Chain A
Amino acid sequence: MTDSRSYRWLSVLSVAGFFGAWYVVNAAHLAPANLLPSMQEVWAALLDILHNGYRGTTLWENAAATLGRCLGGFVLAAIVGVPLGLWMGRSPVLAASIDYILQFMRPLPPLSYLILLILWLGTGDTSKVALLFLAAFPTIAMAAMAGVRGVNRQRIQAALACGATRAQVFRHVVLPSCLPMTMTGLRIALAVTFSTVVAAELMTASNGLGWMVFSASQFLRTDIVLLGVLILGVLGMALSRALLSLDLWLVHWRGRD
Chain B
Amino acid sequence: MPDATDGRRLVAGEVFVSFAGVGVTYGSGAGRVPALEGISLDFAAGDFVCVVGPSGCGKTTLMQSLAGFLKPSSGTVSIDGRPVDGPGADRGVVFQQPALFPWLTVGGNAGFGPMLRGESRAARAETVEQHLRTVGLWEFRDRYPYELSGGMQQRLAIVRALVNKPKILLMDEPFGALDALTREKMQEELHTVWRRTGMTVLLITHSVEEAVYLGTDVVVMSARPGRIVERIAAPFARREGERSSRETKSLPAFVALRERVLSLIWQSAET
Report how far A168 CA is from B89 CA in the complex, Å.
13
Q: In the complex, which residues 54-104 of chain B have their Cβ closer than 8 Å to any Cβ of chain A? A: 67-69, 86-89, 91-93, 95, 97, 99-103
Q: A154-B95, A168-B116 are in contact. Are A161 and B101 (CB under 8 A)?
A: no
Number of interface residues of A (CB under 8 A): 21
Interface bits B178-214 vs A (CB < 8 Å: 1, else 0): 0000000000000000000000000000000000000
Residues of A within 8 A of B93 (CB): 157-158, 161
Q: A157-B69, A253-B146 are in contact. Are A162 and B102 (CB under 8 A)?
A: no
Q: A158-B93, A257-B146 are in contact. Are A173 and B101 (CB under 8 A)?
A: yes
Let me know if B144 and A253 touch, CB within 8 A: yes
Q: Name the one of A162, A252, A253 contacting B116, with C-beta atoms under 8 angstroms.
A: A162
Pair count A-B, CB < 8 A: 68
Residues of A within 8 A of B113 (CB): 162-163
B236 interface residue per 8 A CB criterion: no
B131 interface residue per 8 A CB criterion: no
Residues of A within 8 A of B170 (CB): 161
B254 interface residue per 8 A CB criterion: no
Residues of A within 8 A of B164 (CB): 162-163
Interface bits B135-170 vs A (CB < 8 Å: 1, else 0): 000000000111000000000010011001000001
Report how far A252 CA is from B100 CA in the complex, Å.
15
Residues of B within 8 A of A165 (CB): 116
Interface residues on B, range: 20 to 34
A220 interface residue per 8 A CB criterion: no
> Considering only CB atoms, which chain B residue lies closest to A179 in the complex?
B103
Q: In the complex, which residues 171-225 of chain A have their Cβ closer than 8 Å to any Cβ of chain B? A: 172-173, 176, 179
Report how far A163 CA is from B164 CA in the complex, Å.
9
Would you call the interface of chain B mostly helix, strand, loop, or mixed? loop
B32 interface residue per 8 A CB criterion: no
Let me know if A157 and B99 touch, CB within 8 A: yes
Tell me the smallest distance from the CB of B53 to a CB of chain A, in Å: 21
Residues of A within 8 A of B116 (CB): 159, 162-165, 168, 172
Let me know if B69 and A158 touch, CB within 8 A: no
Residues of A within 8 A of B87 (CB): 157, 160-161
Let me know if B112 and A161 touch, CB within 8 A: no
Q: Name the one of A158, A164, A176 contacting B157, with C-beta atoms under 8 angstroms.
A: A158
B117 interface residue per 8 A CB criterion: yes
A152 interface residue per 8 A CB criterion: yes
Residues of B within 8 A of A176 (CB): 101, 103
Let me know if A158 and B95 touch, CB within 8 A: yes
Q: Name the one of B88, B89, B99, B146 contacting A154, with C-beta atoms under 8 angstroms.
A: B99
Looking at A161, A168, A257, the one whose CB has the most chain B CB atoms below 10 A away is A161
Tell me the smallest distance from the CB of B125 to a CB of chain A, in Å: 17
* Chain A residues in the interface with B (C-beta under 8 A): 152, 154-155, 157-165, 168, 172-173, 176, 179, 252-253, 256-257
| New contact pairs (18) apart from A154-B99, A158-B160, A162-B112, CB-CB < 8 Å | A158-B100, A159-B112, A159-B116, A160-B88, A161-B67, A161-B91, A162-B113, A163-B113, A163-B116, A164-B116, A168-B116, A173-B101, A176-B103, A252-B103, A253-B102, A253-B144, A257-B145, A257-B146
* Chain B residues in the interface with A (C-beta under 8 A): 67-69, 86-89, 91-93, 95, 97, 99-103, 112-113, 116-117, 144-146, 157, 160-161, 164, 170
